[in-house]
Structure 1
Amino acid sequence: MIRHMTVPEGTVLETLKEYWNLADVAAVAQPSVLATRGLWTVSFQPIQGGFWMFSQEGLQKNNMDKLTFYALSSPEKLDRIGEYIAQRVNRDIRRKMGFVRIAMEAMDQLLLACHAQSLNLFVESFLKTIQKLLECPDPEMQVLGSQSFVKFSNIEEDTPSYHLRYDFFVCKFSSMCHDNNDDLSARTKIRMAGLKGLQGVVRKTVSDELVESIWEPDHMNKIVPSLLFNMSEGSSGPLELHTSSVQPDGNQSVLPGEEKEGQDPASLADICLRELVARAPYGKLDTVIQAMLLHLDNHKQWDPNNFAISVIRLVLFSIQAKYSQTVMQILMRHLDLHSKEEVRLRTGIADVIAQTITIAAAESVGLSPLEIINSLLMQLRLAVDSKTEASSSTASLSGAVHSTDGPNQTVLEERYQATLINALGEYANHLPDYQKIEIMKFVLGKVPKHSQGRTDILLQKIMLKSMLKVGTTYVTHQFSQTFQMNLVEPLLGLCRARNAAVRLLVQQILHTLIDRHNNLPKLAHPSLNPADLDLEYDQCTSADIQFFKRRGADIFVALYGSLFMDGNTEENILGMTTTLSLLCIEMNHPEVIVEMLRLIFSVQDSALTSEALTTARKFNLHGMNASLMSLLALLAKYPAFSEHVQLVIAKRLENAPHLLSPIRERYAGNLSPDDIPEELLFSRDTVEEALKEAGLDGARINVPYANPTNGFGSLQSQQPGSNSDINSIALEVESISSSPGLFPFRGGPEEQVTFDSLKRLLSEPPEKTEEEEADRNKRIAEMFQTSTFKEMLARQPSTDNLQEKLTEIFTRLTRISGDFESLSISSGDPLKMQTFSASTQDIQFPDLFVS
C-alpha cells in the first residue's frame, strides 16, 4: 500500500526527515520527488523485513526524471537538494552501501543534467559527498567516489568556483596511487582510481584560472611522485613515447589506443604524466621537473638510469619544442647540485643528459646553445678539480694505508668526464655549422693558455677533447670561414704546449678541420706509395689561396716549432705527418708546395745538426720527410722532382730503411743519425732546379726556418704573456715591408712626436692645424709636379741599411738571451720565471705605431 502526502514547498526537507525517521515504517523504497510548481508529492513504499526494495532494484528512471525536471525548473533549489542527499549518504555510508550507490548515481545525473551557470550551487555538497566516500575504508566506496569526481572534472563551469580547494583530493588520490593492498585486484582498482582522480584534479584546476593553482610545489610533490611510482612499478623496459595528449589550446585529445593503454596503472600513469607536462605553462614547468628529479633522487633511480632516461624523453616529447632548452638547463642545475656527490650518481645524471640532449638541440636558438655548453664545461672543470683533489688525497694516504679504491675511483671519474664530453658532442652534432664554429671558439676560450700545474694540464686535455668532439661533427667548406682569427691563433699557440698529449690533441683537432674529402683514415699512417691510397682532392680555390697568403706562414711556423718540442712521442710525429699531408692535399697549390718543401728541408737540416734531438727522433723526422716528399711528388707532377724523390727513396730502401716509414720509438743501437751519405738525403739544389723548370720560385726553399732547438723558442712558448719567437720577429719585419701602406713613421722635424709637439697639438685651435696640413699637402704636390726624380731622391733622408738592421736584431737577441741565463730549464719541472722591471723613460716604442 502506498501512502500519499502533500506538503508545502517550504517544509519539504522537514517532512522528508520526519517520514524518513518514522519507527513504524520499515524502510523507504524510493524517495521520488514529483516536481510541480509549489508542491512536492513524496511517495513511500513500506516493505517487510526492514529492507528497502530500491537498494536492489536500483534508481527508478521515472522518479529520477521527475527530480531532474524539478531541478531544471527551479535551479535555486539545487543546493538544498544536494545538501539533503549529502546528509543521507553521510548516514548510510556505514551500513547501507546500496543506498549510497543509488544516491551517488542520482547526484551524478543531476550534475550532468544541470546547466553550467547554476552548477556551482550544487558542487559544494557534491564534493562533500565525494570526500565522505574517499574517507571510507571500503575500497569500493573509494573507487565510487573517484569515478564521480572524474565525471565532475569533465564538466566545464561558466562561473569558476574559486572558493573551492582541492588539497584533500590531491592528498587522497596520491595516497590511493601508493596503495599496498594484499589483494592484487583490489590494489589495482584503487591505484587506477587514484590515478584517474589525479587526472581529474589537474583537468579541473587547469581550466579554472581562479581556482587555487595546482602547479604549486606542495601539489606537484604529491602528484608527480605518484605517477612516477606507478610507472616504475609496471615498467619492464623503455616506456613507449608519444606526442602530447593536449592540444596547444589546452583541450584534451584522445590518443590512438589510449583506452587500451590505460588498462593498467603503469600505462595510465604514463598517459597522466604526459597530459600533466603538456598542460604545464612555461613558468610552471620548472616545478614539474623539480618534482620528478626529487623522486628520482629519493628512489636512487640514477644508477641504473634507464627509467630516468625514459621519463626525461617522455617530458621532452610532450612539451612544446621551444621549451626543451629549459628542461636541459634544469637538468644541468640538478647536476651542479650533486657535484659533490659520488661519481656514480653524477655519471648517471650526465648520461641522462647525453641521451636526451639531442632532442633539445633541434630547437636551439640565440644564446641557449652557449648556455648549455657553458654548463657542461663548468661540470668538466669541477670534475677535473675533484679528480685532482682525489689524486692528492690518495697520494697522501698511500704511504700509510694501501687503498684499493684509488684506481677504481680514477676510472669512474674518467668515465664521468667522457660522458660529459659525449653529451657535448651529441648536442653539437645537431646544431648548424655556424653554431659549431662559435662553440669551438667558446670552448677554446676556456682552455688554460699556460700549463703551470697538473690541474692546468688536465683541464687543457679535457677542453681540447671537448673541442675535438665538436670538431668531428663540423664539415669544413672554406678555410677562411673555419679558421677564423680568434680560433686559429689560440689553436696554433697550443701547438707549443708543454705537454705532449695536449699537442697531440691539437693535431687531431686540425685533422678534423682540415680534412674535407674524408682522406683522414687513409693518411693515418705514413706511406711511400700515396698513389695506392686512392686519395680524393681538388684544385685549391682562390679563397683558400688568399687564406694561405694571410695565414699560411703562421701555420707552418707553429707546426715546425711543435716538431721540436721536448717530450714528443711517436704519436706526435705521426699526428704531425698527417696534418702536413692533409694540408698538401686540401691546399693543392704551387705556393703551398714550395712552402712545404721549405719546411721539409728545414726539418732535414735540424735532424742532421741538432744535438737536442734523440737518435730515434731524428730518424722519425727523416721518415716523415720521405712520406711527405712522396705525397708532394704525386700532387705536383714535376718530372724532375718526382724522379729525384723516387731515386732517394729507392736508395734508402736499399741502404737505410730506418730513414723511411714506419715511424718507430726505438731503432737498432748501431745506427748513427749523423753520418748519413748525401745520396740518401733530399737535395736542395736538385729540387730548386726542378721548381725553376716548372716556373716556380725555387729559391724560396733555401730560406730556412729558425732553429727552435736553441732553447729560446721552447722557453718563449712556456712564458706567460708571450706568444712570439724568433720566427715571428722575422715574419713581422717581412710582413711590414711587404704590406702596402704600412711604413715606419719618418716625419719631418715638425712632425716628430715629442712632449712639446703633443702639447702644441692639444692647445692650438683645429683651424690652424687644418691650414698647416693644407699648406703641407700643397708643397708636396708642387714638389712632385716640378722636381726631377734625382732631386726627390736627394731630399729623401738616408735610411738604415740591412746590415745595421741585422746588427740591431742580434743585439736585442743577445740581451734577451743574457736575461734568461739565470733561469733553470728542465724538461719535467715548471719554469720559475723572474720579473724584470724597467723605467718608463727607458722603454723605446716603435715608430710604426706612433702616428
Structure 2
Amino acid sequence: MHGMVYCCSPCKPRYRRLVDSIYPTNARDGLNGANLNKLTFYASSHPEKLDRIGDYILQRLSRDLYRLRFNQVKVSVETMDSLLQCCHSSPSLPQLSEHHLKMIQKLLESNLPYMEQLGTDSFVKFSNIEESAPCYHRQYDFFISKFSQMCHSSNKEADKVRIAGLKGLRGVVWKSVTEDIHGNHANIWEKQHMDKIIPSFLFNLQEDEPKTLSLLEGPFGESGSKDETVNSLAGTCLRELMGKASFGTLRVVIEPVLRHLDLHKKWQPPPIFAIHVFRIILYSIQSKSSYYVIQELIDHLDTMSSSDASVRIGIASVLSSIVSIAGTSIGPLLLSIFNSLLKHLRASVEFQQSKKCPSTEDEKTYQETLINAMGDFANALPDYQKVEMMMFTVGNIPSLSDERKNREGDAFLQHVLVKTLLKVATRFRTSYLATIFTDSFLNTLQQLALVPDPQVRLITQKIFHTLLDRHDNVTSLQSLDLETDISDLQLTVEKCSSPDQMFMRKNAHSIMVSLYRATALMPEDADLKEHADAILCTMLLFCIEAGYDESIIELFRLCFGVQTLAMDQEQPFSVEKREAMHNIVARYLNVCSQLLAIPALYQHVHQVKTNRVKGSNEDLDEDVISTFDRNVVSEALKNSGKDVTQLSVPFLASRQSEASYLEQMDMIDGKAVEKFDAQSMDSSFEWTPPESTQISRRNTVFSLDGGSTNRVSHLQSLTGLPVTVHNLKEFANRPIDKLEEKRQEESYQKEVLQRFRSTGFEEISDEIARNNDETDIMRCISRILSKRTEKVRMKNEGRSQKPKNIFSMDMPAFVSVKPT
C-alpha cells in the first residue's frame, strides 16, 4: 500500500519530493543548486529526517548505478556530501554517515575506474569532517582492503587508480586517528590493517625511486610540484602515517616495512630505497622514539645473520646512514646497541675464518660497513659516551698478555676491532689527555703498539694521532722531510696545561718506552717508511700538545736511545731500517729545534744534516760525525734555561726502569714535585706517583735526620770521599748502577732474613723498644715540649721586643678615671 502511495508524486513525503527535485530532467544537466539548498535547509531544520533522507538517496544511487546512469550517480554523491557538510553538528549525523559509507562501498564495488575515483573523493571529504557524536560500531575493514587493492592496480589507468587508492588510505588514517582520539572503536593500528597499508605505501614509493644517495640528504618537506605523482603521494602518506604513530604502535608499523624490504630484495647494495624509507620514518616520528627504530633494525640483522652477505651489508649500510638522524635519543641503549654491533662483527670474523664462508671479500665488505656504522653511531653521541664506547671496544679486544691462549682468528679479530677503535676515536675531540688516556686504556694502546701484526701497530699509532691532535696539526706532520721549515707547516702550538703536565709526568717514560720498542719492531718491507712516519708524527704530537720541559727532555732521551739502537751492531737490523731510525731522529730534532727556537740546537742539527749530505753516508753507524752529540744538545738546552739533568741518564727500555726513573725524578727535582702537589689541590685530576719497587738513594743519602751517622758512613763507603756538598751533588747526579743497587737490595734482604732466623722474639722486641721514642714517656714529653718551644720561637721571630704585660701598660688620659 505504501509503495503504491509513493508512486504518486503528491502523496510522497516532503523529504522525498525535495530529494527528487535535485535530479535534473535532462541527464546532461548538472545538479540543481536551488533545490539542493532547499533540501539542506530542510535537513538542518528536521535532523530526525536525516536517516530517511540518506536511505532514500542511497536507493536512488543504487538504481542509477545499476542502470549505468553515471550523471545521476554523481548528483547523488554530491548531494550526500553537501548534507554531510551542512549537518556535521547534528546528533543524527552518525545515521547519515552509515548511509554515506554504504554509498561509497557500492561505488568501489563497481570496479569502474571513474566510479572508484568518485567514491574515493567522497570518502576523503567524509574523513575531513569532525563528528561530535561517536560511532562505536563503525569499521573500515572493507575500505582498507579495497583501497590497498587499488594501490596495486596494473590496468590501463593504473596511475589514476593507485592515486585514488593512496588518497583513500590516507583518508582512512585521518578518520581513524580522529575517532581514536574521541574514543571510537575503529583502530587501524592492528596488525592485519598495517600489513595491508604499509606495503601499499611502499609498493608505490618504489616507483621512480632515487638512484643516488645525494638525493636523500636532509629532511623531507612537502613536494613543490603541482602535479601529484604516485611516488610523491606515497611518500606523503607514509610520513603522515608515521607522524601519527605513537611509541606503542611503532613495532606494528616497522615489522611490515622490514618484511616488504626482505620480500622485494631491497637490501641489495646499494640499498638506496631502504635508506630512503628509513629516513622518512626517522624524520616523521618523535625524536625520542628514534632509538627504537635503530634497535628494531639491529634485531632484524640478528634474524638475518645467516643470510647472504649482501643482505647483511645492505642492513648495515642502512644503519650507517640513518644513525646520525637518531642523534642522542639512542643514549639509553648505548652499550646494548654497540654490543650488538660488536657481536655481529665478531661473528663475521669467525665466519670468515671458517671453511663455510663462500666469499671472503663480501665478509670483509660487511665488516667495513659495520665499522663505518659504529663510527657514525659514535659521531651522534656526546663525548662522554664516545669514551664509554672506546673503553667498551678495548674490553672486547682479545687478550694481549698471553699469546699462547689466543684462539685461531683472534689476531684478525684484533685487527678489525682496532680499526673500529680508530673509527670511533676519529669522532672524539680530546680536551685533557687524562680524560681519555686512563691507565687501563693507555696500557692497552701501549700493548697494541707492540703486537706482532704490523698493521695493528700502525693503526694504533693513528689512534694516538687522532686522540692527541687537538689543533688539527696531524695533516701537516704526517709526511715530513729533513729540510722541513715549520713556517710552512702553519702549526698551532699552545702552552701545555697543568693537568696535561701531571699526566705526562706520570706516564711520559712508559710512553717513550713503547715508542722505542715500536721503532725497533718496524717491518723491513715496503711499509717501513709508513711506520717511521707514523712514529715520528706521534713524537711530534706529544711535543706540540704536551710539550713542557720534562716531557721535551724525555723525547730527547728517546731520540738518543733510538740513535744508539740504530748504531748497535748486535741488532739484526737491515741497512734500510737503520737509516729509517736515523731519519726519525733527524726529522724530529729538525722540527723540535725550530719549535724551541734555540739557535745553538738548530745549528747543531743543521750541521749534522750537512755532514750527512756531503759525505753521502752509506753506513751511518761507522760515521761518528753524522750522529747527533748528546753533550752539544745538552749544552744548548741548558743555556736556554732548561734542566738537562735527566738528559744524561741513558734511555733504558724496560719495565723495571720506569720505577727507577720516577724515583730519580722525585729525588733530583724536588721542587717540581712540590709545585705539582700544590697544583693538584686546584685540579680535578688526581695524580699519585707509583710506588717504587727499588731502593732509592733519596732514602739512603739525603735523609740525614735520625740515624745520620750510619748513612754518612754508608755514603763514605760508596764514594771513598769525605761528605761535602760537592760530593753529594756528584753522587746524586751520577747514573744509576742497576747491578749495584740490585746487589745491595739482595744483601739487605739476606741480612734481614738472617736476623729474624737467628734472633729470638724477645730480643727483637727489646731492641725495637729501645730504639722507639714513643715507648718512653719521658722522651715523648721532651719531644713535644721541644716542638712547642720551637713554634713559639718561630712566632716571635721578627718581633722587636717581648710583648708587655697588660698590667704594666699606661692607659691614655681620656680613658682614665680620676678619683673624686
Q: If the length of structure 1 is used for normalisation, what is the TM-score?
A: 0.72
Q: Distance in 1 between matches of 2:306 and 2:646?
A: 59
How far apart in 2 are the matches of 1:798 and 1:268? Answer: 98
Deviation at 1:60, TM superposition (A): 3.8
Match of 1:201 in 2: 172
Query: Compared with structure 1, are the counterparts of its residues 243 and 642 closer, same or farther at alpha carbon in structure 2 (3 Å cutoff)?
Result: closer
Are the equivalent residues in 2 in contact too, given 1:241–1:314 (CA < 8 A)? no
CA contact (8 A) 2:458 2:531 kept: yes
Partner of 2:137: 163
Contact 1:537 1:586 in 2 (8 A): no
| Structure 2 partner of 1:335 | 301
* Partner Cα distance (1:805, 1:700) in 2: 19
Query: C-alpha offsets along residues 803-841 of structure 1, whole Å, 9 cap, x if unaligned?
Result: 7851387999xxxxxxxxxxxxxxxxxxxxxxxxxxxxx
Which residue identity lines up with residue 340 of structure 1 in the other structure? S
Residue type of the partner of 2:367? Q
Structure 1 partner of 2:818:
none
Equivalent-residue separation in structure 2 for 1:136 and 1:356 (angstroms): 44
Matched residue SS, 2:485:
helix
List per-residue Cα deviations over 1:16-71 (Å, max 9, x = no partner).
x4456x6xx9xx9x998525xxxx868989xxxxx993655454445444443443
Q: 1:31 to 1:555 in 2, by over 3 A?
A: farther
Q: Percent identity?
A: 37
In 2, the alpha carbon distance for the partners of 1:18 and 1:798 equals 142
Residue of structure 2 equivalent to 1:553: 509
Q: How does 1:229-244 map to 2 (within 5 A)?
A: 229-235=203-209, 237=211
Per the alignment, residue 600 of structure 1 pairs with: 559
What is the Cα deviation at residue 103 of structure 1?
A: 2.9
- Is residue 316 of structure 2 the alignment partner of residue 350 of structure 1? yes
Which residues in structure 2 correspond to 1:624-663 (within 5 Å)?
Answer: 624-657=584-617
Asked if 1 retains the 8 angstrom alpha-carbon contact of 2:659 and 2:690, the reply is: no
How much does 1:367 deviate?
A: 3.3
What corresponds to 1:614 in structure 2? 573
Distance 1:484 1:279 in 2: 46
Is the partner of 1:53 in helix, strand or coil?
coil
> Shift of residue 154 of structure 1?
0.9
CA distance in 2, matches of 1:640, 1:559: 27
1:377 equivalent in structure 2: 342
Closer, same or farther in 2 for the Cα pair 1:284/1:574, shift >3 Å? same
Question: How far apart in 2 are the matches of 1:626 and 1:458?
Answer: 35
* Distance in 1 separating the partners of 2:713 and 2:232: 92
Deviation at 1:692, TM superposition (A): 3.5
What letter is aligned with 2:637?
Answer: L
Equivalent residues in 2 for 1:225-624 (5 A)?
225-235=199-209, 237=211, 257=224, 260-262=226-228, 264-303=229-268, 304-361=270-327, 363-364=328-329, 366-389=331-354, 392-393=355-356, 409-450=359-400, 452-531=406-485, 533-543=488-498, 544-565=500-521, 567=523, 569-570=527-528, 571-609=530-568, 611-615=570-574, 616-624=576-584
Establish whether residue 701 from structure 1 lines up as the match of residue 647 from structure 2. Answer: yes
Rounded Cα–Cα distance in structure 2 between residues aligned with 1:807 and 1:211: 91
**Distance 1:790-1:552 versus aligned 2 partners, 3 A rule:** closer
What is the CA distance between 1:514 and its match in structure 2? Answer: 1.8
User: What whole-Å deviation, never above 9, does each CA across 1:185-220 have from its counterpart, x for those lacking one?
Assistant: x32222122111101100011111233321222211
User: What residue is the counterpart of 1:846 in the other structure?
Assistant: none
- Residue 171 (structure 1) shift: 0.7
Correspondent of 1:114 among 87, 91, 112: 87
- Name the counterpart of 1:126: 100
Q: Corresponding residue for 2:755?
A: none
Shift of 1:417: 2.3
In structure 2, do the counterparts of structure 1 residues 679 and 243 end up closer, same or farther at CA, with 3 Å as the change threshold?
A: closer
Cα distance in 2, alignment partners of residues 565 and 173 from structure 1: 70
Whichever residue aligns with residue 496 of structure 1, its letter is L
Contact 1:143–1:193 under 8 Å retained in 2: yes
Q: Tell me, yes or no, if structure 1 residue 220 matches structure 2 residue 194.
A: yes
Q: CA distance change for structure 1 residues 811 and 727 in 2, over 3 Å: closer, same or farther?
A: farther
Q: Which moved more, 1:328-337 or 1:65-74?
A: 65-74
CA 735–118 in structure 1, closer or farther in 2 if over 3 Å, else same: farther
Q: Is the 8 A contact 1:736 1:743 kept in 2?
A: no
CA contact (8 A) 1:471 1:512 kept: yes
Alpha-carbon separation, structure 2, partners of 1:232 and 1:794: 94
SS in 1 for 2:241: helix
Letter of the 1:346 partner, please give it.
R
CA contact (8 A) 1:179 1:190 kept: yes
Alpha-carbon contact 1:33-1:67 (below 8 Å) kept: no
Amino acid at match of 2:305: S
Q: Letter of the 1:601 partner, please give it.
A: F
Does the Cα contact within 8 Å between 2:331 and 2:381 map onto a contact in 1? no
Which secondary structure does the structure 2 equivalent of 1:302 belong to? coil
Map of 1:687 onto structure 2: 633
Match of 2:66, SS state, is coil
Deviations 1:322-368 (A, max 9, x none): 3333333332222332222212222222222223332223x447435
Distance (whole Å) between structure 2 residues aligned to residue 298 and residue 383 of structure 1:
24
Q: What pairs up with 1:162-181 in 2 under 5 angstroms? A: 162-181=136-155
2: CA distance, partners of 1:43 / 1:319 = 47
Q: Any conservation in 1 of the 2:210–2:216 contact (CA below 8 Å)?
A: no
Match of 1:34? 14
1:560-587 superposed Cα distances (whole Å, 9 cap, x missing partner): 2222337575132321122112222333
- The more displaced of 420-429 and 141-150 is 420-429
User: For residues 790 and 354 of structure 1, do their structure 2 counterparts lie closer, same or farther at Cα, with a shift above 3 Å needed?
Assistant: closer
TM-score (norm 2): 0.74
Alpha carbons of structure 1 residues 167 and 44: separation in structure 2 relative to 1, 3 Å: closer
Q: Which amino acid aligns with 2:491?
A: E
Q: For 1:71 and 1:798, how far apart are their aligned partners in 2?
A: 123
Unaligned segments of structure 2, at least 5 residues:
678-687, 694-703, 719-737, 749-820
Instruction: Indicate conservation of the 8 Å contact 1:557/1:727, yes or no.
Output: no
Aligned to 2:117: 143
CA pair 810-104 structure 1, distance change in 2 beyond 3 A: farther
* Equivalent residues of 2:189, 2:252 under 8 A apart: yes
For these two proteins, the number of residue pairs brought into alignment is 681
SS in 1 for 2:470: coil
Given the alignment of the two structures, is residue 93 of structure 1 paired with residue 65 of structure 2, yes or no?
A: yes
Shift of 1:261: 4.7
2:465–2:537 Cα contact (<8 Å) kept: yes
Shift of 1:306: 2.2
Displacement of 1:226 in angstroms is: 0.8
- Distance in 1, matches of 2:636 and 2:19, equals 123
User: What is the deviation of 1:639?
Assistant: 3.9
Give the deviation of 1:161 after TM superposition.
Answer: 1.4
Q: Is the 8 A contact 1:242 1:317 kept in 2?
A: no
Match of 1:611, SS state, is coil
Q: What does the per-residue CA deviation read over 1:385-427, in whole Å, with 9 as the maximum and x for residues that have no partner?
A: 23222xx347xxxxxxxxxxx6xx3333222222232233334
Shift of 1:503: 0.8
The answer to whether structure 1 residue 73 and structure 2 residue 45 are counterparts is yes
- Secondary structure at 1:465 match in 2: helix
Larger displacement relative to structure 2 (596-605 or 54-63): 54-63
Of residues 621-630 and 70-79 in structure 1, the stretch that sits farther from structure 2 once superposed is: 70-79
Counterpart of 1:807 (choices 721, 730, 743) is 743
State the distance in 2 between where 1:609 and 1:257 align: 75
